[in-house]
RNA sequence: GCGACUAUUGUAUAACGGCUAUUACGCCGGUUUGUGGUACCGGAAAUCUGGGUUCGAUUCCCAGUAGUCGCCCCA
């Protein structure tokens, strides 16, 4: 056999979830689900496959995204298909499809896997899972407040100290007016430049600003972008909702940081925009945004003439997981995936009788695994202990003929004998105490 | 698409250009142990691929490949 074997590596930029990884993933999904549902959000999903037109139709400004950063292929019937790179067009399609029967406002969430074709790097892979929450319709100000409160609560439910993150907030209309006031006429590219402020050295950033506002306005504009001050909002005077959103959140006990330089990349945002960042000890944002979102108008435009507006955010599992691990926020219990009870037959002949006993205990709603390996009993016990099972039951000839088995609590070394049904209470009591 | 860096058992690592390539964890087997946790003994397991320099290359050079981290872009 000299033929070349296949590599066991996963495809570039995607992950294998071995049980230990999957346990963490499950914890993340469960926390997302629990939080969204505690706000009355309903879950939806769709296929990862979408007609390529869904993304192309969004307009020329997304050309790079569609042509270079999606997985797009032709199916056997000659149709162009794309692996969904984001959830918004899909949810817009779904809403437009049932617009007549859906009563607004709607609170919907989803945990889709999304794909983008690009070079993997820290916090960015080719496939990731994203917690997507949207409120469609409803009073604009309150919807914004509620959605940001949900974003906040998500962080809290992961056990994150509020000192460890910051919610940056801004408003697209405010940004546009601020730019106009400073003499910019190309809003779209100006927004792109502004979005990079925190990434670039000051002088380099100012150089870029010269391309979007008149040179004699650069200093003043730069100062304003750094001015996290509400008086700046008033000075722009556009009758904005931004103030009311910030104040409303404060009433709910949630502090946000007004950030004139927050822009976000996508063009479909029209109102409130926000991002959540990790902060260092001095309270300064670090790294990549963990969560981001904003308000959009007329989301269903490409499907119908009846406008539906909303506000939503997305939170990726890759960045979140990095953050949780770096901050030791993944509870130890999450990592243990072993059954509560391990039944250990002494010989292979006793495997089947052991399965029968395991089955009886399972009837009581207890998770039970049987170690059907060929190792010696000692090895099996050691293995069960290493894997974190709470109880072991050794099955030998005596147990099978008598029907009386002995269960041992590995933590306390306490033992109890009896028939399987007599022992379930003992197991349950000790499990709940944990 | 552009750039920087890295590549040694399953994982993490060590080795002035020179003995049989180190150590830990994990895995397999054994002894000890109160029905496991401890301790001890033993075993399998690696220099990415192809060239070059050299008496001799894991080590130096070149190319390829792969990965990591940036840039671009950000859903």
Give yes or no for CB of A130 within 7 Å of strand B.
yes
CA of A61: nucleotide with nearest C1'? B73
Please, is A311 exposed, middle or buried when counting C-beta atoms within 10 Å of its C-beta (0-12, 13-18, 19+)?
buried
Which of these ranges, A13-27, A185-199, A358-372, has the smallest mean pLDDT? A185-199
CA of A378: nucleotide with nearest C1'? B36
Whether the per-residue pLDDT at A106 is higher than 70: the answer is yes
CA of A384: nucleotide with nearest C1'? B36
Give yes or no for CB of A383 within 7 Å of strand B.
yes
CA of A269: nucleotide with nearest C1'? B75
The answer to whether A311 touches A134, Cβ cutoff 8 Å, is yes
pLDDT at site A161: 94
Protein residue nearest nucleotide B68, by CA to C1': A121
Question: In this predicted model, what pLDDT tens digit does every residue of A84-98 receive, in sequence order?
Answer: 999 999 999 999 999
pLDDT at site A30: 96
Protein residue nearest nucleotide B69, by CA to C1': A121
Note every long-range contact of A66-70, with CB atoms under 8 Å and residues 24 or more positions apart, other chains counting: A68/A117, A69/A116, A69/A117, A69/A118, A70/A115, A70/A116, A70/A117
Give yes or no for CB of A192 within 7 Å of strand B.
yes
DSSP labels, A296-337: ES-TTTTT-SS---EEEEEEEHHHHHHHHHHTT-S-HHHH--
Q: What's the Å distance between residue A416 CA and nucleotide B34 C1'?
A: 15
Three-state SS at A280: coil
Whether the per-residue pLDDT at A256 is higher than 50: the answer is yes
Question: How far, in Å, are A140, A169, A171 from residue A241 at the CA level?
Answer: 9, 12, 8
Whether the per-residue pLDDT at A188 is higher than 80: the answer is no
pLDDT at site A4: 62
Q: Strand B: which of residues 19-38 in chain A lie with Cβ below 7 A?
A: none
Burial A383-409 (b: 16+ CB within 10 A, else e): ebeeebbbbbbbbbeebbeeeebebbb
pLDDT at site A58: 56
Q: For residue A42, what are the β-bridge partners?
A: A108
Whether the per-residue pLDDT at A238 is higher than 70: the answer is no
pLDDT at site A433: 43
CA of A65: nucleotide with nearest C1'? B73
> Closest Cα partner for A180 from A190, A194, A192, A193?
A190
Query: Rounded to an integer, what distance in angstroms lies between the CA atom of residue A337 and that of residue A321?
Result: 18
Give yes or no for CB of A48 within 7 Å of strand B.
no
**Domains (range + CATH), chain A:** 19-48+84-332 (3.30.930.10), 338-433 (3.40.50.800)
Give yes or no for CB of A250 within 7 Å of strand B.
no
Whether the per-residue pLDDT at A316 is higher than 80: the answer is yes
Q: What is the mean pLDDT of chain A?
A: 88
CA of A408: nucleotide with nearest C1'? B35
Q: What's the Å distance between residue A4 CA and nucleotide B54 C1'?
A: 33
Give yes or no for CB of A121 within 7 Å of strand B.
yes
DSSP labels, A88-111: HHHHHHHHHHTTTTPPSSEEEEE-
Q: For the residues A125-134, what does the mean pLDDT come to?
A: 96
Give yes or no for CB of A345 within 7 Å of strand B.
no
Give yes or no for CB of A114 within 7 Å of strand B.
yes
Q: What's the Å distance between residue A62 CA and nucleotide B23 C1'?
A: 53
CA of A386: nucleotide with nearest C1'? B37
Give yes or no for CB of A199 within 7 Å of strand B.
yes
pLDDT at site A1: 35
Q: For the residues A240-257, what does the mean pLDDT come to?
A: 92
Structure tokens at A186: 């190309």
Positions of chain B reached by protein Cβ under 7 A: 1-3, 27-30, 32-38, 66-75
Question: In this predicted model, what pLDDT tens digit does every residue of A413-433 receive, in sequence order?
Answer: 888 889 988 888 888 877 654
Give yes or no for CB of A374 within 7 Å of strand B.
yes
Residue with tokens 């072991």: A392
Question: In this predicted model, what pLDDT tens digit does every residue of A138-179 receive, in sequence order?
Answer: 888 999 999 999 999 999 999 999 999 999 999 988 888 888
Question: In this predicted model, what pLDDT tens digit does every residue of A34-86 receive, in sequence order?
Answer: 999 999 999 999 999 999 988 886 554 455 666 678 999 999 999 999 999 99
Q: What's the Å distance between residue A8 CA and nucleotide B10 C1'?
A: 12
Give yes or no for CB of A162 within 7 Å of strand B.
no
Give yes or no for CB of A375 within 7 Å of strand B.
yes
Give yes or no for CB of A62 within 7 Å of strand B.
no
Give yes or no for CB of A84 within 7 Å of strand B.
no
Strand order in the sheet with A80-83: A49-51, A80-83, A72-74
pTM: 0.91
Question: In this predicted model, what pLDDT tens digit does every residue of A339-398 receive, in sequence order?
Answer: 899 999 988 888 899 999 999 999 999 999 999 888 888 888 988 888 888 899 999 888
pLDDT at site A19: 87
Whether the per-residue pLDDT at A231 is higher than 90: the answer is no
């Amino acid at each position: 056999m000299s033929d070349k074997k296949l590599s066991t590596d996963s495809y570039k930029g995607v992950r294998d979830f071995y049980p230990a990884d999957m346990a963490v993933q499950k914890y993340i999904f469960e926390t997302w689900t629990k939080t969204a549902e505690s706000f009355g959000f309903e879950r939806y999903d769709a296929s990862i496959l979408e007609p390529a037109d869904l993304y192309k139709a969004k307009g020329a400004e997304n050309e790079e995204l569609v042509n270079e950063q999606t997985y797009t292929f032709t199916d056997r019937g000659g149709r162009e298909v794309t692996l969904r790179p984001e959830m918004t067009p899909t949810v817009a399609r779904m809403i437009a499809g049932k617009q007549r029967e859906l009563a607004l406002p709607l609170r919907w969430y989803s945990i889709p896997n999304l794909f983008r074709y690009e070079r993997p790097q820290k916090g960015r892979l080719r496939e990731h899972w994203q917690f997507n929450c949207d409120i469609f319709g409803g009073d604009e100000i309150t919807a914004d407040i509620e959605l940001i409160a949900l974003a906040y609560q998500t962080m809290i439910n992961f056990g994150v100290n509020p000192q460890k993150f910051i919610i940056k907030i801004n408003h697209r209309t405010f940004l546009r007016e601020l730019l106009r006031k400073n003499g910019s006429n190309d809003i779209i590219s100006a927004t792109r430049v502004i979005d990079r402020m925190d990434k670039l050295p000051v002088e380099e950033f100012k150089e870029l600003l010269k391309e979007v506002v008149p040179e004699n306005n650069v200093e003043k504009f730069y100062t304003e972008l750094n001015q996290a001050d509400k008086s700046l909002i008033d000075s722009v005077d556009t009758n904005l909702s931004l103030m009311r959103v910030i104040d409303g959140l404060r009433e709910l006990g949630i502090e946000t940081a007004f950030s004139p330089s927050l822009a976000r990349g996508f063009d479909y945002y029209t109102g409130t925009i926000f991002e959540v960042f990790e902060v260092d000890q001095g309270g300064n944002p670090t790294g990549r945004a963990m969560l981001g979102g904003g308000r959009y108008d007329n989301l269903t435009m490409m499907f119908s003439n009846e406008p539906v507006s909303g506000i939503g955010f997305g939170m990726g599992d890759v960045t979140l997981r990095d953050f949780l691990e770096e901050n030791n926020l993944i509870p130890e219990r999450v990592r243990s995936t072993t059954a509560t009870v391990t039944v250990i037959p002494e010989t292979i002949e006793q495997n089947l009788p052991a399965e029968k006993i395991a089955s009886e205990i399972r009837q009581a709603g207890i998770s039970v695994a049987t170690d059907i390996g060929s190792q010696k009993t000692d090895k099996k016990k050691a293995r069960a202990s290493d894997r974190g099972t709470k109880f072991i039951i050794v099955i030998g000839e005596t147990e099978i003929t008598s029907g009386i088995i002995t269960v041992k609590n590995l933590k306390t070394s306490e033992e109890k004998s009896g028939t399987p049904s007599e022992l379930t209470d003992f197991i349950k009591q000790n499990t709940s105490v944990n």
